[in-house]
Amino acid sequence: MKLLYILPVLLLACVASAASSLRRYDSIFSFGDSFADTGNDIIVFAENSLVTPAAQPPYGMTFFGRPTGRNSNGRLIIDFIAEKLELPFVPPFLTHNGSFRRGANFAVAGATALDASFFRDIPGVGQFVLNSSSSVQLRWFDSLKPSLCSPACARYAIKYHACRCFFKKSLFFMGEIGFNDYSFAVFGMNITQLRSLVPDVVKTVSAAIEVVIKQGAKTVVVPGIPPLGCTPPNLFFFPSADPAAYENSTGCLKDLNEIAVHHNSLLQESLNHVRRNHPNARVVYADFFTPVIEMVQSPEKFGLTQDVLRCCCGGGGKYNFNISAGCGMPGATVCEDPSAYLFWDGHLTEEAYRYIAKGWLNSIDNSEY
């Protein structure tokens, strides 16, 4: 009989343990670009007399039923992670009017790691690099800190910064950021010059990580960049008549993918240095490259269409990507089933983000100090 009483207690203990492992954080703070932007682009683009396509239908059609500023048909990686951790969707810093005590998203579509001034003289694209780089996002974060410092943390004020006890319970995402640095720079640089840019981009990302750790962050997730050579925009803008320019197993551009591999390699080396400098912080590398390559190489394994490099939403052409009729613009069409596509408009679909988020969550759960 005693066993009958003990079993429910043990079961309850197991359930409580599982729940606590899912809910290790009280808030999420995110920096990055369109892969993470949950609505800041609406404000930033408007301030520059531009309209973001992500504010127009059919963006958001799959989950939200309306455009939210997310560059996808539904949720992003950051949304799936928030859901799994039983936290609210991370509100965009520039459009949210409520509290940010459960987190804030500073990511902006088109953002770069390097300051926007670096790209000003690049023909054709310099004018579209907006003032929303990693340093700008860190300033936004700094402006928010006073409102997050709870009176409960006051006892730490003498020895520590007053916000430290708040941020130690927060999950930070530094990126993905860096993808746009190469996507913009390639319009004015050859591959050799682009490769030489990688150390500066990685150094900037690492410096941003150091900033948030010094402010009290205890867990920082740092994503690498996805394959540059597989994205429909880059395949559209930089076609080659030489078959050798493309990878046999993917159909992606070799040189651009090599830049992404080089960035991710240097980034992981740099993260090891950050870990040595801050042994009491968890700095987690999140692989963005491998899961995308997996889906490109074996689309049938993921229930994706065989024409895997083609966008679900776009204006026609080999990759269904057309700058004169982009997704959300007149002349563009949308596929019947976005879940069967890897790419939405050049960014990824909700279904692709769902798969990538699972890998990142595993990395977070399995990481150690």
Q: Half-sphere exposure of residue 95, counting CA atoms within 13 Å on the CB side?
A: 21
Q: What are phi and psi of 173, to 5 degrees?
A: -120, 115
Query: To 5 degrees, how large is the angle CA 305–CA 308–CA 309?
Result: 150
Contact indicator for 59, 39 with CB cutoff of 8 Å: no
Q: Which residues form the catalytic set?
A: 34, 345, 347
DSSP output for 252-320: -BHHHHHHHHHHHHHHHHHHHHHHHH-TTSEEEEE-SHHHHHHHHH-GGGGT--SSTTSBSEES-TTTT
Q: Which amino acid does the sequence have at 69?
A: G
By residue count, the chain amounts to 369
Q: What are phi and psi of 49, to 5 degrees?
A: 55, 35
314, β-bridge pairs: 333
